[in-house]
A = this chain, B = another copy of it.
């Protein structure tokens, strides 16, 4: 079984059906079509607040374009060392923002902690134009190490941002997994907790290629749309981004998909624990980071499991990722073969 990444999964039947239905008729380009026009309303209902939705095809684009509207070319973005924007997006943030600097800090399981964040910001020596002042905080929900911020944790971070007059951005590449774990309303961990914008991930969790920039501050829309066009992320056949998104959130497909991934991860965690592996932190979303002897890792691979080592957590740590299509029965069958 392939636990290398949730990116190895295909797209889900609901998305295929929606694309197929929209594959025969003409429609206006660049978002002028009927499907694209439904996005704002659909997400406003989902988040129980009027939002602006700007879909793009990748998470890196969603993150970097969002940040380009939240931070000036002279400012800083406080983030975690392990965050995707710091570790996996090349020099994208500087590129899209015109130079803004990432200001990474530590925290358990790739989470920022409100009190440490507050101290980190307060302790920075302000040397005026010489130094880079934080203008934005970026958190990832669920984090790159599979942990999920509680509603209260996000709220406290939101409070810190308000205190220091900073914007709060959420990388929600695995937002569905977080909400499925928390069983909260999407509003509770976003705008109600102080989040200004989120990249609402769909690609990893059942779409083909679409993540939505959801702006809780709708004033950001024009700047985001300018940045999207200029960076080549405005699709001419825009409706196919919209189609995927609408199918993804309709009938809670996004939560159903995430539930499967989360349950699969817990199932796998149990099996691995019985074999002597230990989680570096509790399984919450769809990613497991487990410490185990090399012998066990070898045995799992012999049994047909694919997964990566995760050297930043230690030479004996490995990552397992489940997805919307992971077959839980098949995981259970794996156990007998170990």
Residues of B within 8 A of A125 (CB): 311-312
Q: A23 with B10: in contact, given A90-B130, A232-B61, A237-B209 (CB under 8 Å)?
A: yes
Across the interface, name the chain B residue whose C-beta is closest to A75: B91
Q: A231 with B232: in contact, given A73-B91, A132-B90 (CB under 8 Å)?
A: yes
Q: In whole angstroms, what is the CA distance A89 to B130 when docked?
A: 5
Query: Which of under 10, 10 to 19, 20 to 34, or 35 or more describes the interface residues of A?
Result: 35 or more
Stoichiometry, as copies per complex, reads: 4
Would you list which residues of chain A between 104 and 140 have a CB under 8 Å from chain B?
125, 127, 129-132
Kindly state whether residue A16 has any CB partner on chain B within 8 Å: yes
CB distance from A148 to the nearest CB of B (A): 21
CB distance from A331 to the nearest CB of B (A): 14
Contact of A91 among B9, B57, B91, B100 (CB under 8 A): B100
Residues of B within 8 A of A28 (CB): 4, 8
Residues of B within 8 A of A51 (CB): none
Kindly state whether residue A98 has any CB partner on chain B within 8 Å: yes
* A29 adjacent to B57 (CB under 8 Å): no
CB<8 Å pairs between A and B, sample of 21: A4-B28, A10-B23, A10-B26, A20-B20, A58-B234, A60-B229, A61-B231, A73-B91, A74-B91, A74-B227, A87-B130, A89-B229, A90-B230, A91-B101, A92-B232, A95-B99, A125-B311, A208-B240, A209-B235, A209-B236, A232-B233
User: 3 closest pairs, A vs B, by CB?
Assistant: A61-B232, A7-B29, A129-B229
